[in-house]
């Protein structure tokens, strides 16, 4: 059995995921192991592997996380079934953007709109998110980064509006690194913890981007 190991400890987001992606595309293995040292990296890598058609397993080892996936010899199995051999591009996952709903992507990188009066900026952001719920054409994705992640916490004034948007198909991505840095990950009230790879893919997708900082 061919084994390929990745030690992704002490690597910033999204490097653990990107190293895993590179291994799927370029390495010949039956067993892939990825070692990470934090929960966001574990979740990001596992989610990516699931999108790539694998069934990842993980275990905790002395505070780190060991993720493992197995891949059959695709060339042999396909040949036996009379199927053409898959290219490296075909065994990697599609861009997360391909799975997102239609509409523009909105980047919210602060808990307020504008650089002037703080309370006014917070009021403007609250009003903007409420107004989105009243539009016929809503955005496809809302991305929250930096202090913007506070808008998605369990005590946010916009929590119900964001939950309503999510229920109507708007994808809400919340930066996991930002949540960890601020220390509020356990208080996330709406949306899905995301990573820099997925966020970057969404921002550079075809739908167009609106940015509030």
Instruction: Flag whether pLDDT at 98 surpasses 50.
Output: no
> Could you give the CA distance from residue 42 to residue 56 in angstroms, rounded to a whole number?
10
Query: Does the structural domain 3-93 have CATH classification 3.40.50.300?
Result: no
Instruction: Flag whether pLDDT at 78 surpasses 50.
Output: no
pLDDT at 73 (0 to 100): 60
Residue limits of CATH 3.40.1260.10 in the chain: 98-212
Mean pLDDT of the 1-13 span: 91
pLDDT at 205 (0 to 100): 85
CA distances from residue 97 to 8, 9, 137 in whole angstroms, order as listed: 25, 27, 18
CA distances from residue 116 to 35, 67, 120, 127, 157 in whole angstroms, order as listed: 44, 46, 8, 16, 20
pLDDT at 108 (0 to 100): 96
Q: Reading across the β-sheet that carries 57-61, which strands appear in turn?
A: 3-7, 31-36, 64-70, 57-61
Angle subtended at Cα 99 by Cα 95 and Cα 100, rounded to the nearest 5 degrees:
110
- Of residues 74 and 107, more confidently modeled: 107
**Least confident stretch, 93-102, 136-145, 197-206:** 93-102
Instruction: Flag whether pLDDT at 198 surpasses 60.
Output: yes
At 79, list the tokens. 């040949």
pLDDT at 95 (0 to 100): 40
Residue limits of CATH 3.30.110.40 in the chain: 3-93
CATH topology of domain 98-212: Hypothetical Protein Ychn; Chain: A, (3.40.1260)
At 203, list the tokens. 């921002």
pLDDT at 83 (0 to 100): 41
Mean pLDDT of the 162-188 span: 95
**Least confident stretch, 78-82, 115-119, 126-130:** 78-82
Percentage of the residues of the chain whose pLDDT score is greater than 70? 85
């Amino acid at each position: 059995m061919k084994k390929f190991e990745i030690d992704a400890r002490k690597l910033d987001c999204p490097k653990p995921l990107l190293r895993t992606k590179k291994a799927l595309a370029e390495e010949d293995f039956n067993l892939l192991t990825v070692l990470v040292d934090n929960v966001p990296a574990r979740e990001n890598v596992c989610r990516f592997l699931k999108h790539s058609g694998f069934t990842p397993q993980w275990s905790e080892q002395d505070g780190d996380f060991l993720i493992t996936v197995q891949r059959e010899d695709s060339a042999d199995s396909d040949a036996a079934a009379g199927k053409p051999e898959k290219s490296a591009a075909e065994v990697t996952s599609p861009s997360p953007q391909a799975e997102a709903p239609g509409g523009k992507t909105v980047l919210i990188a602060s808990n307020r709109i504008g650089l002037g009066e703080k309370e006014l900026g917070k009021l403007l952001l609250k009003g903007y998110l409420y107004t989105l719920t009243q539009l016929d054409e809503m955005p496809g994705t809302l991305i929250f980064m930096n202090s913007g992640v506070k808008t998605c916490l369990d005590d946010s004034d916009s929590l119900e509006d964001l939950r309503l948007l999510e229920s109507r198909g708007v994808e809400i991505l919340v930066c996991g690194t930002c949540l960890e840095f601020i220390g509020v990950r356990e208080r996330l009230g709406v949306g899905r913890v995301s990573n820099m790879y997925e966020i970057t893919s969404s921002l550079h997708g075809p739908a167009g981007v609106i940015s509030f900082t």
